[in-house]
A and B are shown apart, each in its own frame.
Chain A
Amino acid sequence: MPPHCPAQIIDDVFRMNEITARREMVAARGVKVTFGAVKALDGADLVIHCGECVGLVGHNGAGKSTIVNVINGSLNPHAGEVSYGGATAQHGISTARAKGVRCVFQELSLCPNLTVNENARVMHAELAGWNWRTRAVALVKQQLGEIFPGHGIDCDSTIDDLSIAERQMVEIAISFAGLNEKPKLVILDEPTSSLDAGLAAQLMAYIRKFVGEGGSVLLISHILGEILSTSDRIVVMKDGRVVADRSASEFSTRSLVEAMGNVVREQEWQRAVDKRDGAPVLAMPPRRGHGLAFQAHRGEMIGLAGLAGHGQTETLLDLYLSRNSNWWPARRKDIAFVAGDRSLNGIFPLWSILNNLSIASLGDISSRSIVDHDREGVLGNGWKKRIEIRTPDMENRILSLSGGNQQKVLFARALATTARIVLMDDPMRGVDVGTKQEVYDILRSEAATGRTFIWYSTEMDEIRLCDRVYVFREGAIVAELAGDEITEKNVLEASFSAGEAA
């Protein structure tokens, strides 16, 4: 046997080439960032090479969004360094942009009062000069068509008029688009949080294509299936540090959840026997004059399914507003709402976490209309422990929390009330796996005590947890599934079939 078999040498050379070809796109090393007493990043390393998709997972508040903000230049790290393309450059948003870094934020960042093409102009300064609108429309249209074939979004409409899913699609398209130069690294922070399964699959396919052409993607998601199937490499963060950084093929859903520090639990949701007895606690005639009527009974967990933006949110709003006077304070609160679009109809940005949590239950913690601060504090601390809101002090401002933790506060706000009916508008957006399981447990025990939950979700796993599911299509309920009929196949069939069930 010769000492060096030629095939092996060729293989080695090939591998060398592959390594040199995988140039560093961006590298952040030993980064530390603190917000007041909170250590958001505690010496984290993150390197992204050209032509790879890196998945980034971790708890709410693990530091994912913070490291993204360091890479895109909007946050200056207190220690450590950031380099683009191997060279340490001056740090800042404009530098990062010049190096081809684009970012799709978890908090959708389009200007709601502008049209789609005007928003494209905001992101792409090179769309200047005569007739830029036409070119902007062409650019966005082409890109949208490439990522989401058959999307049906009108590029002349104002962002305000688009559903939250459509906004997310537009923002993704604008970020991937390039007039003169394609972006080199696109950071996607929870890109599929409002997209249904079909759209999410289209996006994942596009990411693979983009990476195949030499681009890089940093994908942040709580949906582990996406991360596992799309990424080349997965980075797991915990408490501001990177705790695992391995090739995606070495992970499974179970090992990934364990790496994040959670105990894997089998999804066993003992569905109760049919709870439909007695009079419904909430009912609504068929919407828009066709489809099925809506009914909810005591202790039921009802899912609203179907493709995103087909009238589920509107139904929840109608149900809520019909039970809630706009003129007189309710003597007893009998219905509560958990917002999904937290910046639009959820949080009060000037207030502390505590005030945000207690606003819906002020009647229970006050005597003669005067709010009792001690009882408010007890309420706040109780929920801080129960739902694990990550903050040193409930008096801190709500905006000091990460997105997922803000969402937990909204959950606590609704659950802390005495309301017997809780409406949920896709509330798990941006909430990590561990918290989701805790919240599911809370929901289960609350439902057992007779609370009714009406739950719109874009995630099939959550729809499967419900006792009964209404499937929406074009603003009306087209199918009702109960018990074992609730499967992905049945839901999808009902959402695509042109309403034979009606």
Chain B
Amino acid sequence: MTAARLLFTKPWIWSFAATVIVWVVTVLFTGGASSLGLSQAALTFAAFSVIVGIGQMFVITLGPGNIDLSVPATMTLSGTLALKLMDVQDGMILVGLLTSILLGFAIGIGNYALIKLLRIPPIIATLSISFIVQSTAIWANRGLRIKPPEVLASFTTSSLFGIPNIAIVALILSVVAWVLLKKTIYGRWISAIGQSTFAARMTGIPVDGTRLVTYILCAVLASICGYLLASFSGGAALNMGSEYLLMSIAVVVIGGTAVAGGNSNIPGIWGASLFMFLVVSMLNTYGFGAGFRLILTGLIIIAVILVAGGRQSNR
């Protein structure tokens, strides 16, 4: 009884509940035939949302106004540059990954430099950076589609004991992020800044340093995600990140992280990412048209947020 009640006070429980319902409904429709395939696909595609979602969640935790809109452009440029550099050679896999991470570092610094030097809101600063990054990707890509190295391509598309490798990578990153958030001084700091920046400053927290690290972290995670996604889908495409702009924000919000900052949770991001993929595939299985599908997706998301949000407000 008390355990159940404790469970229901967790904000992430609702995204998982919704995920299970949608999964059951979809599997019932297909008579159970697709359950394994559906689960594997859900885990794979959710993993990409989880990786960018975690980064976005750290930024959103910093408090009102903090958001990173450069996520899709960063993914695209990272995928494009990494594949170009690796040039289908297996020996260059690590060099490619390192380049991606360095690129994320640079974009994160660029984002925060703009926020700090020009004193513009993060939403504008990251959007401006995103145009620069996207244009660089277009210039670097020039319509060529370069394949990923063989080993990397097979790693990203295969599974270990039935669990997609991508999902395992996302899980490891989630655990690291969870430790960072809940156990370290840094995690306390970003939560404090999200609740009251001035109070955080007056308790001796280096506010600017912490925010800079957080924007870098978000950009690095987006870069890693772009690197993995490009390898998974057999080459970088210029629009490969576009879907993840809203996705990265949606999974954070549906997952139960407070949009006003200061409070975040990682399990919710998994629930929300799985849910977002399963809703679309459920509606596909039922054979709805594209327009109707989008309307339903929107309505279902609103419903989940209403249920979860109603819970949170009476704490």
Q: Which residues of A contact B (CB under 8 A)?
A: 320-321, 324-330, 333, 335-337, 339, 344-351, 355, 359-360, 362-363, 366, 369-371, 413, 417
The digit string for B182-223, where 1 denotes a CB below 8 A from any CB of A, is: 011110100110011011111111111100100000000000
B262 within 8 A of A: yes
Verify A350–B208 contact, CB threshold 8 A: no
Separation in Å of the B207 CB from the closest CB of chain A? 6
| From A327, A348, A371, contact of B208 by CB (8 A) | A327
Verify A326–B208 contact, CB threshold 8 A: yes
Q: A345-B196, A362-B185 known; A320 and B206 CB under 8 Å? A: no
Q: Which of B236-284 contact A (CB under 8 A)?
A: 258, 262-263
| From A326, A335, A337, A371, contact of B184 by CB (8 A) | A371
Q: Which residues of A contact B184 (CB under 8 A)?
A: 366, 369-371
Q: A345-B202, A360-B204 known; A328 and B209 CB under 8 Å? A: yes
Verify B262–A329 contact, CB threshold 8 A: no
Query: What are 16 A-B pairs at a CB distance below 8 A?
Result: A324-B201, A326-B206, A328-B206, A337-B202, A337-B204, A345-B198, A345-B202, A350-B195, A350-B262, A351-B192, A359-B205, A360-B203, A362-B188, A370-B184, A371-B183, A417-B204
Q: Which residues of B contact A346 (CB under 8 A)?
A: 199, 202
Q: A326-B209, A327-B208, A333-B204 known; A349 and B195 CB under 8 Å? A: yes
A326 and B199 CA atoms in complex are apart in Å by: 13
Separation in Å of the A239 CB from the closest CB of chain B? 27
- Give the total of B residues in contact with A, Cβ under 8 Å: 26
| Nearest opposing residue in chain A for B199, CB measure | A345
Q: Which residues of A contact B201 (CB under 8 A)?
A: 321, 324, 326, 345
Separation in Å of the B170 CB from the closest CB of chain A? 23
Separation in Å of the A374 CB from the closest CB of chain B? 13
A360 and B206 CA atoms in complex are apart in Å by: 11
| Nearest opposing residue in chain A for B184, CB measure | A369
| Nearest opposing residue in chain A for B185, CB measure | A362
Verify B195–A348 contact, CB threshold 8 A: yes
| From A321, A327, A371, contact of B209 by CB (8 A) | A327
Q: A327-B209, A413-B203 known; A363 and B185 CB under 8 Å? A: yes
Verify B192–A348 contact, CB threshold 8 A: yes
The digit string for B114-132, where 1 denotes a CB below 8 A from any CB of A, is: 0000000000000000000
Q: A327-B209, A350-B263 known; A355 and B204 CB under 8 Å? A: no
Q: A346-B199, A349-B195, A371-B184 known; A324 and B209 CB under 8 Å? A: no
Q: Which residues of A contact B204 (CB under 8 A)?
A: 324, 330, 333, 335-337, 360, 417
Separation in Å of the A392 CB from the closest CB of chain B? 17
Task: Identify which of B205, B207, B208 gathers the most chain A CB atoms within 10 Å of its CB.
Answer: B205
Q: Which residues of A contact B263 (CB under 8 A)?
A: 350
| Nearest opposing residue in chain A for B263, CB measure | A350
Q: Which residues of A contact B188 (CB under 8 A)?
A: 355, 359, 362, 371
Verify A348–B185 contact, CB threshold 8 A: no
Verify A366–B185 contact, CB threshold 8 A: yes
A359 and B183 CA atoms in complex are apart in Å by: 13
Verify B199–A327 contact, CB threshold 8 A: no
Q: Which of B57-94 contact A (CB under 8 A)?
A: none
| Nearest opposing residue in chain B for A326, CB measure | B208
| Nearest opposing residue in chain B for A347, CB measure | B199
Verify A371–B206 contact, CB threshold 8 A: no
A344 and B198 CA atoms in complex are apart in Å by: 7
| Nearest opposing residue in chain A for B194, CB measure | A350
Q: Which residues of B contact A359 (CB under 8 A)?
A: 188, 192, 203, 205
| Nearest opposing residue in chain A for B203, CB measure | A360
Q: A326-B207, A337-B202 known; A369 and B196 CB under 8 Å? A: no
List 8 tightest A-B contacts by C-beta distance, closest first.
A327-B209, A348-B195, A326-B208, A360-B203, A345-B198, A362-B185, A345-B199, A337-B202
A329 and B199 CA atoms in complex are apart in Å by: 16
Q: Which residues of B contact A355 (CB under 8 A)?
A: 188
Q: Which residues of A contact B195 (CB under 8 A)?
A: 348-351
Task: Identify which of A325, A335, A417 gathers the most chain B CB atoms within 10 Å of its CB.
Answer: A325
Q: Could you list 4 further interchain pairs (A-B, Cβ under 8 angstroms) beyond the known A326-B206, A329-B206, A370-B183?
A: A327-B206, A345-B196, A355-B188, A371-B188
Q: Which of B154-203 contact A (CB under 8 A)?
A: 179, 183-186, 188, 191-192, 195-196, 198-203
A360 and B185 CA atoms in complex are apart in Å by: 10
| Nearest opposing residue in chain B for A423, CB measure | B202
Verify B203–A337 contact, CB threshold 8 A: yes
Q: Which residues of B contact A325 (CB under 8 A)?
A: 206, 209
| From A321, A348, A362, contact of B196 by CB (8 A) | A348
Q: Which residues of A contact B186 (CB under 8 A)?
A: 369
A245 and B315 CA atoms in complex are apart in Å by: 37
A339 and B200 CA atoms in complex are apart in Å by: 11
| From A328, A347, A371, A417, contact of B185 by CB (8 A) | A371
Separation in Å of the B264 CB from the closest CB of chain A? 11
Separation in Å of the A54 CB from the closest CB of chain B? 35
A19 and B121 CA atoms in complex are apart in Å by: 64
A89 and B45 CA atoms in complex are apart in Å by: 60
Q: Which residues of B contact A360 (CB under 8 A)?
A: 203-204
Q: Which residues of B contact A336 (CB under 8 A)?
A: 204
Separation in Å of the B59 CB from the closest CB of chain A? 18
A324 and B202 CA atoms in complex are apart in Å by: 9
A320 and B207 CA atoms in complex are apart in Å by: 14
Q: Which residues of B contact A339 (CB under 8 A)?
A: 199, 202
Q: Which residues of A contact B212 (CB under 8 A)?
A: 327
| Nearest opposing residue in chain B for A321, CB measure | B201
Q: Which residues of A contact B209 (CB under 8 A)?
A: 325-329
Verify B185–A369 contact, CB threshold 8 A: yes
Separation in Å of the A83 CB from the closest CB of chain B? 30
Q: Which residues of B contact A326 (CB under 8 A)?
A: 201, 206-209
| Nearest opposing residue in chain A for B196, CB measure | A348
Verify A320–B191 contact, CB threshold 8 A: no
A349 and B195 CA atoms in complex are apart in Å by: 7
Separation in Å of the B272 CB from the closest CB of chain A? 21
| Nearest opposing residue in chain B for A320, CB measure | B202
A492 and B199 CA atoms in complex are apart in Å by: 32
A447 and B59 CA atoms in complex are apart in Å by: 41
| Nearest opposing residue in chain A for B258, CB measure | A350
A366 and B205 CA atoms in complex are apart in Å by: 15
Task: Identify which of A321, A329, A339 gathers the most chain B CB atoms within 10 Å of its CB.
Answer: A329
Verify A348–B207 contact, CB threshold 8 A: no
A369 and B210 CA atoms in complex are apart in Å by: 14
A363 and B205 CA atoms in complex are apart in Å by: 11
Separation in Å of the A429 CB from the closest CB of chain B? 16
Q: Which residues of B contact A369 (CB under 8 A)?
A: 184-186
Separation in Å of the B265 CB from the closest CB of chain A? 12
Separation in Å of the A464 CB from the closest CB of chain B? 27
A336 and B204 CA atoms in complex are apart in Å by: 7
Task: Identify which of A330, A346, A348 gathers the most chain B CB atoms within 10 Å of its CB.
Answer: A348
A256 and B195 CA atoms in complex are apart in Å by: 40
| Nearest opposing residue in chain B for A368, CB measure | B184
A333 and B199 CA atoms in complex are apart in Å by: 16
Q: Which residues of A contact B185 (CB under 8 A)?
A: 362-363, 366, 369, 371
Q: Which residues of B contact A327 (CB under 8 A)?
A: 206, 208-209, 212
